[in-house]
Amino acid sequence: MMNFSFLSVFGALFMIFCGLWSFISYYKHLLNSLLSLEFMMLGVFWLLSLQLSTVGSEIYFSLFFLTLAVCEGALGLSLLVLIVRSHGNDYFKSFNFLEC
């Protein structure tokens, strides 16, 4: 019979690989890319908190990681709003990164 910790680690790794697959496959919209990056960060957070809980070290490191992931998500959404306001949509094909 499978151990619960093995299933939890396998679930976290599955989340990371599904997020990576969606980041590679669905690159048409910027919002899809941001959501897949956040899904990967959630999987990494889950794996990190499982690892830190089994080792018994500081759990505050996982809270620090979660804070950085939230800041990264807020920055991504603010860039998305800026791009939609300036270009009208979030298609990667409709805007050029080199223009001011």
Cα–Cα distance for residue pair 12/58, rounded to 1 Å: 20
Q: Name the class of domain 16-91.
A: mainly alpha
| pLDDT tier for residue 83 given thresholds of 50, 70 and 90 | confident
Q: Which of 65, 35, 36 is nearest to 49 (CA)?
A: 65
Q: Is the pLDDT of residue 1 over 70?
A: no
The pTM for the full model equals: 0.81
- C-beta separation of 61 from 52 below 8 A: yes
Mean pLDDT of 69-91: 89
